[in-house]
Every structure is written in C-alpha cells, then in structure tokens.
Amino acid sequence: MELEIRDIPEHIAYTAEYDVDSYDDFFDPATGENRLQDLEDFMHENNPDVIVPEIPHDYNYFTHPAGVVPSGRMHVRYFDMVDRFGKDDPEGSYRFVAVPAVRAAVIPWEGPNPTVPEGIAHAFALVKEAGMQPAGDTRVSAIHGPWDREDEKGYLVEIQIPVK
C-alpha cells in the first residue's frame, strides 16, 4: 500500500463531537439508524439553505488527535463539508467552522470498522518511512460502509494524515 500525497482545500463544515467504542456506533444495519444522517437532518431543520454536496463531491470525516492511534473508547470529531456557514445549534450538538487547507498523506483502508485503528497505525508507519512528520489531526473519511455494503469486509475508508 502506497501513500498518496494530496492537497485538501480549505472548506466550511459543520462539526460535532462524540465518544464511541467504534465507528460502528454510528450505524445500525439492522434498523437502518444512522446517527450522522440524523445530525445532518437536524442541521438542515435549522439551516434549510445550507447545502451538503452530493457524492462524488461530498467530503466528511472523523478526526483523531495528531499522532494518536485510537484504542478503546474514542473521542472523535465529525466534520461534514457544506457550501456556506449556517447557524450553530444553540444546544451545542453542532457548530460551523472554517477548516484550513492541508497537505495529507492518504491511504485507503478496507475492512471492518474496528480495524481502522490498525490502519491508522499502518499509515503512521508509512509516513515515518517516507521521512515525513504528522502535522495535524488524523482524518478518517468513509467511502463505503453499512449504508451501501452488506459485508463489512467491503467497508472502505481513507486515512488522511496531514504532513509536513
């Protein structure tokens, strides 16, 4: 698996924080419940003019603190790109932010969600091997998951490590 270096442009996003055991906590394949879709729907109730781009132009991701390989219960921030700032939720469930541009080392990681920390560790090893240093919070951007794959072996994320 090779690192791809990618410039990720500045963007506006709404963001929320969660404490979870795994990315599986966001989706219940048995019921179809999707906590992130529920968050987007709630954001739209308060901001009907804010547009979340559709696939393939969408960009959403979780972040982990710079240099940290998550283990056990995780504190993550979720970001979902939008076309403009909206009104933050007064109750604090989400807020809008400007996210600066970054240069990131990117690798795909395929498999069940509980293996993502293993993928992050692998990505850090590749970054170090390439002579680069992490320079910001690690991003995990889901491409395929329980919403479009029946077999978790087909889940796919991009692990993005900002580098210098």
Residues 11-52 have pLDDT tens digits of: 999 999 999 988 889 988 778 789 999 999 999 999 999 999
* 46-88 per-position pLDDT tens digit: 999 999 998 778 899 999 998 888 888 999 999 999 999 999 9
Mean confidence (pLDDT) of the chain: 93
What are the φ and ψ backbone dihedral angles of 46, each rounded to 5 degrees? -90, -15
The C-alpha torsion from 129 through 133 and 9 to 60, rounded to 10°, is: 80
Provide the pLDDT confidence category of residue 146 given band limits of 50, 70 and 90: confident
pLDDT of residue 23: 87
Does the global pTM surpass 0.85?
yes
CATH superfamily membership of 4-162: Regulatory factor, effector binding domain (3.20.80.10)
Could you tell me what percent of the chain has a pLDDT over 90?
Answer: 76
Place of tokens 């963007």: 11
- Please give the C-alpha separations between residue 36 and each of 76, 78, 94, 95, 127, in angstroms, as whole numbers: 13, 9, 11, 14, 30
**Domain ranges (residues) in the chain:** 4-162
